[in-house]
Structure 1
Amino acid sequence: MKQTIESLPLVKEITDVLQQLGIKEVNPAYSTGLVWGGHEGRSTRTITSPADGNTIATVNMANADDYDQVVQTAQEAFKVWRKTPAPKRGEVVRQIGDRLRKHKEALGKLVSYEMGKIYQEGLGEVQEMIDICDFAVGLSRQLHGFTMHSERPQHRMYEQYHPLGIVGVISAFNFPVAVWSWNAMLAAVCGDVIIWKPSEKTPLTGVACQHIIREVLTENELPEGIFNLIIGDAEIGSLMSHDKRVPLVSATGSTHMGKKVGEAVGARLGKSLLELGGNNAIILTENADLEMALRAIVFGAVGTCGQRCTSTRRLIIHENIYDQVKERLLKVYPNLPIGHPLDSTTLIGPLIDKDAVNAFSNALEKVQQEGGTLLTGGEVLSGDGFETGTYVKPAIVEAENHYEMVQEETFAPILYLIKYSGEVENAIEIQNGVRQGLSSAIFSTSLLETEAFLSHWGSDCGIANVNIGTSGAEIGGAFGGEKETGGGRESGSDAWKVYMRRQTNTINYSRELPLAQGIKFDIMD
């Protein structure tokens, strides 16, 4: 276990990163892509790293007037951007992707230092941004509609898609830039303009992205208001959710937060795209390849210190291999390297803050009161290198699926071991027996078992994987889940359609005016 980072020239390293990405000691409250505003007279928030407790920078927090200014600027930009040909919009996104490549290492380090995920995961998050830019560039030439035959002679029918207008994006701390890019780059090639409210816990990566985008907008002589950033607390999110000028709000976060957003947007008959909680399970049948499965289980359970919406939280194991799997995990867990996320030997960084640590400890206490058995981990680390109180040892708990804490999503590295017997359908019933429905996986070499898992009576999740874990989705597929996960879909496949309004068109190229369904309605002699 790594307990010190004295070998790293960290102070200079982070200082260089902040300078390269344009992060100041105090940063403005909002950006309209070209212009920064909200420099003075606002409340402030100091951003510290969960890795070592050091101050990174301070941000001004936007107020209602700032929000209104951003919305008005975005409305004007939409009038220009929607008339820009989609392939030209794609060219702008391509340039953003290239600029992200240039700053990949620096931005990856900032993601790691501000959020706490290890550097390799920080790099992976920036790569997701680059990948979605590439995807969006191709999409800009494929915003296709559909043609269908009319029942009326000499009539043509087709469907087409038009941009919505302003897309509001509320992102979470655990993926401070990737999820924004999933929304923003697709919305941009669709002709929309974007207002991004990052998590108030990790706003500096948002500031850095705005500086990168500003270079591209300036070089292409584009107006301000296409890509906007506003830093604020829940009040700003509420303003956006209730604002009729924002036809779509995409929100990522807790189910509690998502319900508030969904209710507010729904009350004004707007559109919401919700990516909320997950309570993801891996099923291990008797036919599982355990060597492969164990790698997926450990990454899924402890990667990002359990702070992914796709983190593996439940392991549903056939009784005939249960003891073997438990023994293997109990050998691996105590030796997992915990430490500073920028240390190359670290696999597990800190939780985001002490509130998350308290939630971790409280969940372990409560599940044991319900009858669960803590097998390993659960300690909050202290001492040299762990003075922040944000580092914990990942925990494994024997439990039953009906326990209240097992039914909840604790955003921390807790893995519940659950035993099943009989056929795979019994395991699937356990997996589906929670309120969330994001990601799921099965490890089996049996075609009968895996096809049952993928069938319409199988996994009820938006993501169902075979012989890979629950975490680490590619951008090519639509990402999202069912039930209390919110039902939204982002990123690949045809997720782009949510950022557009659908229109059915009928063209009459005859000199007659027949009505559909053969209706006769003659008003002329």
Structure 2
Amino acid sequence: MTPARDDRDLTLEVSRALEACGVSQEALSGSRGVTTPVTGEQILSVEPHTVDEVRDVIDRAEHAFRVWREVPGPARGAVVKRWGELLSEHKSDLATIVRAEAGKIVSEAEGEVQEMIDICDFALGQSRMLYGKTMPSERAGHRLMETWHPLGVVGVITAFNFPVAPYAWNTALAIVAGDPVIWKPSEVGVLCALATDALLGRAAAECGAPEGLHHVVIGDREAAQPLLEDQRVALVSATGSTRMGRDVAPKVAARFGRYLLELGGNNAAVVTPSADLDLALKGIAFAAAGTAGQRCTTMRRLIVHESVADDLVERLRRAYETLAIGDPGDEGVLVGPLINRQSYESMQAALERSRMDGGTIVTGGQRVLADEFPDAYYVEPAIVRMPQQTEVVREETFAPILYVMTYQDLDEAISLHNEVPQGLSSAIFTSDQAEAEIFLSARGSDCGIANVNIGTSGAEIGGAFGGEKDTGGGRESGSDAWKIYMRRATNTINYSGKLPLAQGVEFI
């Protein structure tokens, strides 16, 4: 374990990074303190927006939409291209801010920024491929086709654990689709938002985009309410807990707005008797302990065939005990802090409930570095063997707890896998092609992401990201996720000189 750095040093690092990204000193003086999980101390401060200010932001975004929707798609793509270039230039700066606000280790912070760069590349190509279909008409001398048009103002609400990447997934595609974006970041991610927005602002200005194309709204849940309730916000994309999604969806649906939800995950991996255990060990360790268990795709359940369970658990125990825990900025550290005290207390409560349900803690669960930094919460990732899948296992605890259960046949494993409310990410480790195909089939994993011989974390931007059930059903990033940011029109063109009606209807 390594002690975290003095918060004064971290404040200096972050201040320099913010300045390099173009954030003004005026934006960093306000009534609300910004705390880092690395030390638990305040490093800077910002000023929250009022509800009236948020409504004014919506006014400006709506005005920008009326201009931006007329700009050709490839020209809109130029803004995203330039944004990606600036993100590349300032990758280290932005990663420094991510590390300070989210507590991520260096490689994970840089990896999150790389996701932003990658989605800019993807969206740039998509700006020339906003394709509609042409369909055969049943009427002679007619052509039937679909066209895609800009949707309107997009509201994006993001969570603390990925303070920049999901915003970029949405924004890069929304901008090429012709939509302005209003961003309400987590209260534990405002510095990341200011830096990211400053770079986008520079890209937009250099490319001649209209003012009002992008905005950041700083505040609590009250500040987000206009985005949910205002008819002019055509789409609300929200990343966070299932509880948050249950609040967002009805409010947006009540006005017939669109919503895109990427909510909780209770992700599992099935390990079969034929699995390469060395490979499985690496995939499980990162997915379960990486980011201190604070990814939506973190592996929280391990369903292992009884014939290999003891061997695999012992390998995992030895691997866990080698994980370096400490300041995420230090070389060699693999596990940084939990985001706050509440996360630590939730983890301890879940571990106690698992004990009461007959679980055995194999390793981990203890707080470390508490003497040096009483306001920061570093913990040892935990492995818990459970006799069955109890209620605490079915719930998502946003902390590094891996529950291990055994099975006898694949149908039992899939049943265990699917009987939780969430449906985000899943994996199977196997060398048997039939087992892999079954897991990927309709009778297999019920998640939006299903992997073979890799863990549950680490999705690439080329595929659509999201899940089913309590995960919300939304899809972001790659594939055809761009369609959610646009509206489809079906067009019939009659060049026959006559007016036959469809289905042979006769009227006049």
* Same-fold call, TM cutoff 0.5: yes
Aligned to 1:260: 247
Work out the CA distance in 1 between the residues paired with 2:389 and 2:381.
Answer: 22
Cα distance, 1:365 vs structure 2 = 1.0
Equivalent positions of 1:302-381 (< 5 A) are 302-381=289-368
Aligned to 1:27: 27
Q: Secondary structure of 1:346's partner?
A: coil
Work out the CA distance in 1 between the residues paired with 2:53 and 2:75.
Answer: 30
Aligned to 2:456: 470
Give the residue type in structure 2 aligned to 1:476. G
Cα distance, 1:333 vs structure 2 = 1.3
Work out the CA distance in 2 between the residues paired with 1:220 and 1:513.
Answer: 46
Work out the CA distance in 2 between the residues paired with 1:123 and 1:166.
Answer: 29
Aligned to 1:31: none
Cα distance, 1:401 vs structure 2 = 4.6
- Given candidates 473, 497, 513, the residue that maps to 2:499 is 513
Aligned to 2:273: 286
Residue 409 (1) aligns with residue 418 (2): no
Cα distance, 1:237 vs structure 2 = 2.0
How many matched pairs? 507
Equivalent positions of 1:64-463 (< 5 A) are 64-383=51-370, 385-421=372-408, 423-463=409-449
Work out the CA distance in 1 between the residues paired with 2:268 and 2:364.
Answer: 20
Q: Using a 3 Å threshold, how does the CA distance of structure 1 residues 171 and 383 change in structure 2: closer, same or farther?
A: closer
Q: Using a 3 Å threshold, how does the CA distance of structure 1 residues 200 and 9 change in structure 2: closer, same or farther?
A: closer
Could you list the per-position Cα deviations for residues 479-502 of structure 1 after superposition, in whole angstroms to 9, with x for gaps in the alignment?
A: 000000000000000000011111
- Given candidates 30, 54, 60, the residue that maps to 2:41 is 54
Residue 501 (1) aligns with residue 487 (2): yes
Could you list the per-position Cα deviations for residues 390-444 of structure 1 after superposition, in whole angstroms to 9, with x for gaps in the alignment?
A: 11111111114531110100000000001111x2121111101100000000000
Work out the CA distance in 2 between the residues paired with 1:432 and 1:380.
Answer: 32
Could you list the per-position Cα deviations for residues 347-397 of structure 1 after superposition, in whole angstroms to 9, with x for gaps in the alignment?
A: 000011111111111111112112211121111223454433311111111
Q: Secondary structure of 2:140's partner?
A: coil
CA contact (8 A) 2:383 2:401 kept: yes
Could you list the per-position Cα deviations for residues 5-36 of structure 1 after superposition, in whole angstroms to 9, with x for gaps in the alignment?
A: 48x965643342233234456627xxxxxxxx
Give the residue type in structure 2 aligned to 1:197. K
CA contact (8 A) 2:11 2:44 kept: no
CA contact (8 A) 1:283 1:315 kept: yes
Q: Secondary structure of 1:46's partner?
A: strand
Q: Secondary structure of 1:225's partner?
A: coil
Q: Using a 3 Å threshold, how does the CA distance of structure 1 residues 397 and 12 change in structure 2: closer, same or farther?
A: same
Q: Using a 3 Å threshold, how does the CA distance of structure 1 residues 81 and 435 change in structure 2: closer, same or farther?
A: same
Give the residue type in structure 1 aligned to 2:223. I
Give the residue type in structure 2 aligned to 1:19. E
Work out the CA distance in 2 between the residues paired with 1:23 and 1:139.
Answer: 30
Give the residue type in structure 2 aligned to 1:193. P
Could you list the per-position Cα deviations for residues 313-352 of structure 1 after superposition, in whole angstroms to 9, with x for gaps in the alignment?
A: 0000000001101111111112210000111211000011
Aligned-CA RMSD value? 1.6
Q: TM-score scaled by structure 2?
A: 0.97
Could you list the per-position Cα deviations for residues 212-232 of structure 1 after superposition, in whole angstroms to 9, with x for gaps in the alignment?
A: 122122222322111111111
Cα distance, 1:247 vs structure 2 = 1.2
Cα distance, 1:242 vs structure 2 = 1.5
CA contact (8 A) 1:401 1:433 kept: no
Could you list the per-position Cα deviations for residues 73-108 of structure 1 after superposition, in whole angstroms to 9, with x for gaps in the alignment?
A: 001100111111100110111000000001000101
Q: Using a 3 Å threshold, how does the CA distance of structure 1 residues 25 and 413 change in structure 2: closer, same or farther?
A: farther
CA contact (8 A) 2:69 2:178 kept: yes
Q: Secondary structure of 1:338's partner?
A: coil
Give the residue type in structure 2 aligned to 1:217. A
Dislocated runs of 4+, deviation >4 Å: 8-12, 23-26
Q: Secondary structure of 1:27's partner?
A: helix
Aligned to 1:36: none
CA contact (8 A) 1:78 1:165 kept: yes
CA contact (8 A) 1:247 1:270 kept: yes
Q: TM-score scaled by structure 1?
A: 0.94
CA contact (8 A) 2:81 2:121 kept: yes
Gapped runs of 5+ residues in structure 2? none
Gapped runs of 5+ residues in structure 1? 29-38
Could you list the per-position Cα deviations for residues 441-498 of structure 1 after superposition, in whole angstroms to 9, with x for gaps in the alignment?
A: 0000001110110111010000000000000000000000000000000000000001
